[in-house]
A and B are shown apart, each in its own frame.
Chain A
Amino acid sequence: MRGLSEFTGGVASSGSMTADVEEELEERQLLVVVVEEEEEELELRLGLGGKKVTALKSAPLGMGCRILTAKDFPSPAAKSRSSPVSSPNSSVSSSSASAVSENKRAIGSSHPPSQAVVGWPPIRSFRMNSLSNLSKDNISNISKESNGEKKARSLVGSSLFVKVNMDGDPIGRKVDLSAHQSYESLALSLELMFLKPTITPGSSFHTAKASKLLDGSSGFALTYEDREGDWMLVGDVPWEMFLDTVKRLRIMRTFEASGLTPRFHSSGKSVGLIASKPS
């Protein structure tokens, strides 16, 4: 019988995490990929492949978008493998249950485990989105927005529409950021809008599922213009902060995006200059 002994302690027991990151995690109740102990070659994961972690770590900072996903954090089961926690991961993006991960947590732990499991609790996504929007609006100060920003960014009811343009595509689109809870979800949605994924007939496993926008493999990078008019790589700041500051999005060719570097983190983990406007 699958008893309590199967459950691992969750993120808190991971030795390679720094204290302030742990705190942030506890605050934001981040989803963590915990891989069930199985034969390595039969390992199934719902998220991006864990073996790729080292490859990503070595990716040049300016290239692609270092969207933090749950896989960047070591799972207790995977402690023996490479621990990818390093500078790019110090800023945490909070995600809701829609992030792709699976977690088994100790019963009776201080963190309610329900939020760590995909699709649990079983509440329709429409309701989840509505409730999170409702509470956001009740709390957040919408009047902060200045009139000048209204054109690119419009807040209608609970929606948060921003313009999205892709280099080489004359047709701009709008995306409702409030419909997403994470960078992953947003990037996937944008890919569907702008990049038609290739479908190879007959082969079911060559998927284009991983966010090509996020790991730079598509030749494009996802960037945004913030309140101050600066262009930043998407993914550096916590999702909530991103929502507050984003004015519009641009899917940039990667060679142009290489002029952007991640923002200086308050934890001092990563260095970089605030990006200047691309030419």
Chain B
Amino acid sequence: MTYFPEEVVEHIFDYLVSHRDRNSVSLVCKAWYRVERSSRRSLFVGNCYSVRPERVPARFPCVRSLSVKGKPHFADFNLVPPDWGGFAMPWIAAAARGLPDLEELRFKRMVVSDESLELLARSFPNLRSLVLVSCEGFSTDGLAAIATHCRLLRELDLQENEVEDRGPQWLSCFSDSCTSIESLNFACLKGEVNAGALERLVARCPNLRSLRLNRAISVESLSKILARSPHLVDLGTGSFTADHRSESYYMLIIALQKCKSLRSLSGFWDASPRCLPAVYPICANLTSLNLSYAPAIQGADLIKLIRHCWKLQRLWVLDCIGDKGLAVVASTCRELQELRVFPSDVFGAGTACVTEEGLVAVSAGCPKLHSLLYFCHQMTNAALVTVAKNCPKFIRFRLCILEPRKPDPVTNQPLDEGFGAIVKSCKDLRRLSVSGLLTDRVFLYIGMYAERLEMLSIAFAGDSDKGMVYVLNGCKNLRKLEIRDSPFGDAALLADVGKYEAMRSLWMSSCDVTLGGCKALAAKMPRLNVEIIDERDEGDEMEENLTDLHKVEKMYVYRTVGGPRNDAPHFVWTV
């Protein structure tokens, strides 16, 4: 290929969409490395500590789109202490110094300060897109900075962030000349928003296609906004609560009817069942529906709504939909690809809302189902075997039986065979979360059959080190392994240390791994960061008793070319 001019090679590389392919071509020869490097427009860093931020502009100076992920996944469930790290600032600073073409930035599970948003806004006035997912550390002041300086902004997407409310004025900071907004999602903001400013913004942005409002937006404001943006494709309603006999509700119905392009609905924060009929007319076109934040809407009303949604591809609901409701989903939503059923009463008395029956019904009625997140109170092997047969196309299968270590209630057996059936049947399975009573056997199956598996989440499962070893030996494509409260120890950890360099990360908490084991791993593999998180009090008991036999409470191992962290808090210790 060296006799092709570089422009041609570059042109060919433009057709390479996936990061993995581009990574591969850069390894072929120096010429290709050079071409690929300068033509790379989009960069994804799956672990912010795997490489130093300064390295990015040096390696890929022409990047326009950067995506960085910070904390380990279990941070979502409070298993990672606050102040652990994952700071966005060094990345923004490095970009400001060396990535002049940057237009799109995405952070997930990172700590983003107002200061860093200010730096971002001032350094990149031409910023087109900012996406923050599950981040924290900033307030509406940071958003104001973005709104003020980034006049060409197309997308501001805030998904499930913890944002401190410092007032509604941030929205008014979008200048009157800003007409480029295509996507605006501030559903996670807790505070008031200036409804008038929002309406004016919506009115002057003709390309607005996605708008997700927060809970503070009333039905009245919603109607006015919809009247100004009838071409919306994706809508997050605000509170959606109104007296169904009121003028506001009537206006809402009128406005919604005009939104012929709406394909996706979410929000419904305070929705009462009586307001739902307003959306019936648009249900027939919906491909995505998220009612998982509407606990007031119970089974019967959900069913009525879903009967209208026969084109649905993605459905997120609470488990109050019940097995009966899922049966309606199965018979109505033949195109369904993704289903998420969340628990509505996490700490409740265990009134069975959805069981294995609902899942079986959906699997029977929706053959295209490929992504599942299902919280339930019980599951049987028989059901899982049936589901595996009905839906061999699963890519993501995450099952969470609420009670840890719960066996099959019918046979009192572990759920090894059920999950075994899933991995055997679903050859394209990339992500799996297991739960319920499980022995080492399920991991034998996973190791044997889950060839494409990339991410595995284990909790309260297994009998011995063998379980973990089966997985490490078998799953060739494993990238992320996260384990909690399972009896895997040093023997498993050290069984195949080279494996961890082929993976992004390993998390183990409340397992049987000892300090000695971690030290051994770190000694053998210098390009891994073996981090221990220990949050205990100061006290004499700690220092004295720190032998190598000491069991480590939380361990996070990841490959890195950046060396040990230089921003680790006192409770994070790199072995």
Contacts and interface: CB of A to CB of B under 8 A. Distances in A.
A38 B542 CA distance: 15
B240 interface: no
A114 B134 CA distance: 23
Nearest to B437: A107
A199 B546 CA distance: 20
Contacts of B553: 44, 46
B70 to A, nearest CB: 15
B77 A119 contact: yes
Interface string A99-116: 010100001000011110
Contact of A107 (B81, B406, B464): B406
B487 interface: yes
B411 interface: no
A119 B76 CA distance: 8
Given A114-B404, A135-B295, A205-B534, A127 B342 contact: yes
Interface string B340-356: 00111011111000000
Contacts of B464: 1
A15 B300 CA distance: 45
Contacts of A161: 165
B203 interface: no
A134 B165 contact: no
A94 to B, nearest CB: 9
Interface in A172-218: 176, 179, 188, 192, 199-200, 203-210
Interface stretch (A151-159, A237-245, A252-260, A267-275): A151-159
A199 B569 contact: yes
Interface string A206-239: 1111100000000000000000000000000000
Interface stretch (B24-32, B53-61, B184-192, B228-236): B184-192
B44 interface: no
A150 to B, nearest CB: 14
A45 B160 contact: no
A29 B457 CA distance: 27
Interface in B440-498: 457, 459, 463-464, 484-485, 487
B398 to A, nearest CB: 9
B403 A97 contact: no
A38 B538 CA distance: 21
A176 B190 contact: yes
Given A46-B553, A119-B77, A203 B570 contact: yes
Given A126-B188, A209-B537, A42 B550 contact: yes
B545 A131 contact: no
A119 B463 CA distance: 22
A156 B165 contact: yes
A134 B270 contact: yes
Contact of A122 (B76, B164, B293, B551): B76
Contacts of A205: 534, 536, 538, 542-543, 546, 570-571, 573
Given A112-B350, A157-B216, A207-B570, A179 B162 contact: yes
A142 to B, nearest CB: 12
A49 B375 CA distance: 34
B541 interface: yes
Given A49-B539, A126-B162, A205-B536, A41 B295 contact: no
Contacts of B485: 102, 117
A159 B270 contact: no
B459 A120 contact: yes
Nearest to A134: B295
Given A156-B191, A206-B570, A207-B571, A124 B160 contact: yes
A29 B348 CA distance: 9
A19 to B, nearest CB: 21
A42 B78 contact: no
Nearest to A29: B347
Contacts of A158: 190, 215
A127 B192 CA distance: 20
A112 B349 contact: yes
Contacts of B349: 112
Interface in A42-61: 42, 44-46, 48-49, 51-52
Interface in A1-22: 1-2
A204 B553 CA distance: 14
Given A52-B537, A121-B402, A131 B344 contact: yes
A159 B570 contact: no
A45 B536 contact: yes
B405 interface: yes
Contacts of B541: 41, 49, 51
Contacts of A120: 77, 404, 459
A112 B162 contact: no
B510 interface: yes
Interface string B74-86: 1011110111000
Contacts of A100: 535
A207 B536 contact: yes
A138 interface: yes
B425 interface: no
A213 B543 CA distance: 24
A87 interface: no
A75 interface: no
B296 interface: yes
A204 B565 CA distance: 13
Given A123-B77, A204-B571, A44 B162 contact: no
B572 interface: yes
Contact of B571 (A42, A118, A124, A209): A209
Contacts of A276: none
Nearest to A96: B347
Contact of A112 (B188, B402, B405, B569): B402
A83 interface: no
A86 interface: no
A46 B295 contact: no
A91 to B, nearest CB: 20
Interface string A133-147: 011011000000000
Contact of B160 (A113, A126, A200): A126
21 contacts: A41-B544, A42-B551, A97-B347, A100-B535, A102-B485, A115-B347, A118-B79, A119-B484, A120-B459, A122-B433, A122-B459, A125-B76, A130-B293, A131-B293, A159-B190, A176-B164, A179-B162, A192-B82, A204-B573, A205-B534, A205-B546
The 4 closest A-B pairs by CB, nearest first: A119-B77, A204-B573, A126-B160, A115-B347
Interface of B: 74, 76-79, 81-83, 134, 160-162, 164-165, 188, 190-192, 214-216, 269-270, 292-293, 295-296, 342-344, 346-350, 375, 400, 402-407, 433, 439, 457, 459, 463-464, 484-485, 487, 510, 532, 534-539, 541-547, 549-551, 553, 569-573
